[in-house]
Amino acid sequence: MHKVGFFRSIQLKLILIYILLLLVAIQVIGSYFSSSLERELTTSFKSSINDNINVLGHYLEGAFTKERTDDDETTLGEDLQGIIRDIDTNSNWKLFVVDNQSRIQATNNNSEQSKVGKKMTFEIVQKALLFGNEQTADKKDNNNNRVYLVAKPLFDDEGSVAGVIYVEAPFEDIYNQLEEINQIFLNGSFWAILITAILGVLVARAITKPIMEMRRQAQIMGKGDFTQKVNVYGTDEIGQLAIAFNDLNAQLKHSYAKTEEETRKLNSVLENMSDGVIATDETGAVTLMNEAAGFLLSVNPEESYGEFIIDVLKLDEKNVDLSELPDSGSMIIDFSDDQEIFLIRANFSTVTDDNDEITGFITVISDVTEQENLERERREFVSNVSHELRTPLTTMKSYLEALIDGEWQNKEIAPKFLEVTQNETDRMIRMVNDLLQLSKIDNKEHQLHMEKADFVSLFHHIIDRFEMNMPEHIEFVRELPNERLYVWMDKDKLIQVMDNIITNAIKYSPEGGTITFKLLKQRHQIIVSIADQGMGIAYDKLEKIFERFYRVDKARTRKLGGTGLGLAISKEIVEAHHGRIWAKSKEGKGTTILFTLPLMGKKRRGSK
């Protein structure tokens, strides 16, 4: 059984999908959260600085607009310094108050007091003095720390720029906080991924467990075992798949059993066929041969697998190619030798797929040597007819020649000669009529005039007719049922059958013999039997009495005027009525001729 490795399994793929989805979600959430938090903190930081500067600027503008005299105790710088001192400002800031001459008037940082009175040439300050609007900027100091710069102009009563508040506020702490938050977020993400991986394993196992069971069951089914079923763990899609899989298993089990049964039937048919069957692939190589084919070709079927059909049928000796074989037809193959004639008929047919492409050939072979025997029998039949006609003709010729030579004047001999001539003429007429009737039967030209009739009444009528002219040395015994048995039949033809059989019984009955007439009713048919107590027939000749011109006692039959065709005609008529005729006999103990006829079905009451 092929086993799938963990690194190629669907379980690992599901776990990876869970983790990747979580990573994408964490990445998106983290990016959004980090950028939003950074924006919020910096905006809040800058807003706080601007609020403080606005408050401080309000008081500083008052100092700039104050009118000063020589008697004032404080200067502008001292007033500005005092305001800065009174209003609490962040000690981390660097705050400078610059007048409109770009000179520093005050600062909140004691270490920067030495710059008071000096000019500030910062670009941001110069722009604020020049344009009269607030200027901001972000930069990094010498220590590579982020610093927020603000230069807010201060106005006098006339609206002119009186000075500028310049602030340097470091906000590196904000990014330090962001790094700490991101580290916390990263740690949380790690634990989330770890927990997700564990949960993914559990979920993947829950999902893949029924799939693995179905996989194992499919492999078991591939070996022909359909007895097991997969467990159904729920009503979700996988549960529905498991139910469908079990239904498929049941259907396959039924189909497999049916296929096995059909295969056994086919094998039984092939093995018990009298005809040989050979199957080949599209190249003509033998893939199947039954025992009958091996027997006809005198080869071992198992050893013939893989051989070409041309070689098996010995067509290569006749220079016949596979492409020359008929797609659907037959050909006669001669396997005769010096001792005996042996002919085989091969019927070829092709096997095609849905695209009408040939995928193989089926060849059915049969022994047609018997047909040669039938041809011989036909020749014998012609010979028999010639012989049967020649005998009376010879007799008639000799008698007529005697009459011509003058015997016609002999009143004692002439009537006898004429009587013999007339009898032989009648016999030939009967023979010709029988031959014409058989010819019509063989050519399917005779028509039966069928009607519903009671066979028991017909049987009595025929026996009565024979009893009127019955020889004194023969006794008739009737064992017929006292009921009406209806048969769909041609009365004239069946009377002819009965006449032939009864006539033969009378011919072969000895002195004091008895002819017994019986009729037995079965479920769907009747069995008619006519038994005599004559000399009987050997077992190996029973079937031959229904052949044309066959006689058990030829001399006696000819003497009594028989043509040798009566039972042959009777057989054809009975079979035309869908019946069967046969004989039972023991030498010295008489012969019984039996035949069957189908009964007509009874109509239901009330039917029209």
Question: How many domains is the chain partitioned into structurally?
Answer: 4
Can you tell me the mean pLDDT for 4-27?
Answer: 72
CATH of the domain at 105: 3.30.450.20
Token reading at 173: 């702490």
Do 72 and 99 share a structural domain?
yes
Please indicate, yes or no, if residue 314 is contained in any of the structural domains: yes
Whole-Å CA distances, 448 to 90, 445, 490, 492? 134, 10, 6, 9
* Tens of pLDDT, residues 427-450: 677 667 766 666 666 666 567 788
* Tens of pLDDT, residues 42-78: 888 888 888 888 888 888 888 787 766 666 666 777 7
Last residue of a domain, one of 113, 148, 177: 177
Question: Could you give the CA distance from residue 378 to residue 531 in angstroms, rounded to a whole number?
Answer: 31
Weakest-pLDDT range from 185-189, 246-250, 369-373, 570-574:
369-373
* Tens of pLDDT, residues 455-511: 999 999 999 888 887 777 788 999 999 999 999 998 888 988 898 899 888 888 888
Question: Could you give the CA distance from residue 350 to residue 281 in angstroms, rounded to a whole number?
Answer: 10
Q: What pLDDT sits at residue 91?
A: 66
User: Residue 57 carries which side chain, given as an amino acid letter?
Assistant: G
Please indicate, yes or no, if residue 204 is contained in any of the structural domains: no
Do 459 and 438 share a structural domain?
no
Contact yes or no for 310/316 (Cβ under 8 A): yes
Do 579 and 494 share a structural domain?
yes
Strands in 286-289's sheet, in edge-to-edge order, are 286-289, 276-281, 358-367, 343-352, 329-334
Do 409 and 478 share a structural domain?
no
pLDDT exceeds 90 at position 518: yes
Do 532 and 461 share a structural domain?
yes
Can you tell me the mean pLDDT for 231-247?
Answer: 79
Do 459 and 350 share a structural domain?
no
Last residue of a domain, one of 151, 177, 203: 177
* Tens of pLDDT, residues 275-332: 888 888 888 888 888 888 888 888 888 888 888 888 888 776 656 666 666 565 677 7
Token reading at 585: 């006999």
Do 159 and 43 share a structural domain?
yes
Please indicate, yes or no, if residue 291 is contained in any of the structural domains: yes
Do 381 and 305 share a structural domain?
no
Q: What are phi and psi of 69, to 5 degrees?
A: -125, 175
Please indicate, yes or no, if residue 471 is contained in any of the structural domains: yes
Q: Which domain holds residue 39?
A: 12-177
Please indicate, yes or no, if residue 307 is contained in any of the structural domains: yes
CATH of the domain at 410: 1.10.287.130
